[in-house]
Structure 1
Amino acid sequence: MELKVTRYEVDDHGIATVWFHRPGRGNSWTNLMNTEYRWIMDTLDRDPEVRVVVLTGSGNQFCVGADTKALNFYTTSEDDYADTVDASAAAQPGTGVNPEFETDVIWQWGLRVPVIAAVNGACAGIAAAITSFCDLRFAAEGIKFTTSTPRLGLPAEYGLSWILPRIVGLTHAADILYTGRVVYSEELLQMGFLNGLFPRETLMEEVYKVARMIATQVSPASVTSAKRQMYAELLHLEPRRAIDDSKELIGHFMRQNDFREGIAAYNEHRPPRFGAPIIDPAVATGGS
């Protein structure tokens, strides 16, 4: 696919970086960006060399939300919104893991790779939802975050009413969703929305430290399994089932090469050399 509003690259450690790439428009979101982003993430998730994805924005912004031209279109259009953003013809990353993940934004939970949001600038509207459904979130100091929707006469969008209370709690979520106010990254850290906060000039360096740890020091099969366990158990809310299922998984993983390698590396005081990741989305767990 020819990419016009996104870009990506993969380094030698298996760390993929994806950029929203409309720097002249604040990296604002469009249907084309959605299509390209889906294609990139599907491509990366199928690549066995990729271990982790870092998502950020080109220039000084992360993503300022929907393009204003698109918003203006809807003030006069009679078209149904759902029809105009139908992505059924686009790539479908994250499918085959859980039917609840097979729709916009939350498909990121169906990916085998963890997705780290590196919020390097303003994050608004749908970008707030995309960031919320990433696995880890880091931001630069002084970054502005807002849902925007109540100030535009719109409801909470793209699952924010579901995910935000689970990240920051009901009290903070109500504040963010009801007021649509600008929340700075320092406050987001206090709320528990962010995993870390860094000066703008060192943000990517710090994020890549975390990404390299995931890419080089842990079993990719274990990471995929933990990701799928965590989000599945968040949905069913059955602690006994979570424990019993984990015991079955432990037995399975103890028969895999990664377990033997992990123990050997620990005993020999050396970095582990883990095998290939889980690629087949139909395989929820397993080792190399």
Structure 2
Amino acid sequence: MELKVTLYEVDGPVATITLDRPERLNAWTGRMHTEYRWCLAQADADPAVRVIVVTGAGRGFCAGADARALEGHVEKGGYDPGTPPDIPRPGFGVHPEFDHDFAYHFGLAKPTIAAINGPAAGVGLVLACFCDIRFAAAGAKLTTAHGKLGLPAEYGLSWLLPRLIGLAPAMELLLSSRIFLAEEAERLGLFHRVLPRDDLLPSVYEYARTLARTVAPSSLRETRRQVYIDLHRGVGPAVSEAQRLLDELTAGPDFREGVAALLEKREPRFWSPPPAN
């Protein structure tokens, strides 16, 4: 696919997807959604990639739906996602609940980390919330945005946000559509860390490479799937599935390497950087 509004780069075990409309604060369009899903599919299928980082070009993460697209919805008298019928489907086929817009993140085999470098509004905040872990630049402005446009909470955020930060604070942010800062989001538990802007990406990449280097890829894959599937079922099935996976993974090479590293008092070699030229 020819990428026009996103960038896709792979460096060792980390793939980076950059929303790339900096002149519009990376406002979301159907083209961007299509390209974003294609990039996710590439990263998920690449055996060399262990972690996926999502960020924005310039001074914003994603300012929400593009104003011109919103104007188009008014003219058409309804919502038009602007995506083709053959849009890529990363994460589909793992669990029926995940076969929907943005919920497809839950079906990926690899963790996603949002590096929120600036404003995230509406669908931009949705995208950040559907990532597994979130880092943000100090002072980044955030808003659910939908209320002031006369819209419902978007793309399942009404289901996800209460599970991330609790019902009461999520309800307040969803009902008010007010602007809040990264520092408040960190206090609410939405962000893992808030950092000076210049430190954001270096810290995210350090964290991503540590995950890739020290945690077995099979464990990353199955743990995140356990978490998201278990959100839809009771504790009994969760325990049974954990036992099934325990039996499966103890027969695999990652477990053997992890035990060997423990006994030899060294870091496990789940991934090694390519040799220098």
| Matched residue, 2:9 | 9
The Cα offsets for residues 28-72 of structure 1, whole Å up to 9 and x where unpaired, read as 100000110011110110010000000000011000011111111
Which residue of 1 is the match for residue 52 of structure 2? 53
Where does structure 2 lack aligned partners over 5 or more consecutive residues? 272-277
Residue 281 of structure 1 is matched in structure 2 by none
Which structure 1 residue ranges, 5 or more long, are not aligned?
276-288
**Post-superposition CA distance 1:207-232 (Å, at most 9, x none):** 11210111111110111000110100
Other-structure match for 1:28: 27
The residue number in structure 2 matching 1:101 is: 98
Q: What is the deviation of 1:75? A: 2.0
Report runs of 4+ in structure 1 exceeding 2 Å deviation.
83-88
TM-score by length of 1: 0.91
- CA displacement at 1:86 relative to structure 2: 4.9
Quick check: 1:226 aligned with 2:230? no
Give, as a single letter, the amino acid of the residue that structure 2 aligns with 1:8.
Y
Q: Deviations over 1:84-134 (max 9, x none)?
A: 445541111001101111111110111101000000000001011111111
Equivalent residues in 2 for 1:71-110, closer than 5 Å: 71-78=70-77, 80-81=78-79, 83-110=80-107
SS in 1 for 2:208: helix
Indicate the SS of the match to 1:235: coil
Q: How does 1:158-169 map to 2 (within 5 A)?
A: 158-169=155-166
What value does the CA root-mean-square deviation take over the aligned residues? 1.4
2: CA distance between counterparts of 1:215 and 1:253? Answer: 18
Q: Distance in 2 between matches of 1:219 and 1:186?
A: 32
Q: 1:248 aligns with which of 233, 244, 254?
A: 244
Distance in 2 separating the partners of 1:239 and 1:85: 40
Q: What residue number does 1:133 align with?
A: 130
In structure 1, the partner of 2:199 is 202
Q: TM-score, normalised by structure 2?
A: 0.95
* Distance across 1 between alignment mates of 2:268 and 2:111: 19
Mapped to 1, the partners of 2:59 and 2:226 lie a distance apart of 35
Secondary structure of the residue that 1:75 maps to in structure 2? helix
Q: Percent identity, please.
A: 45
Match of 1:191 in 2: 188
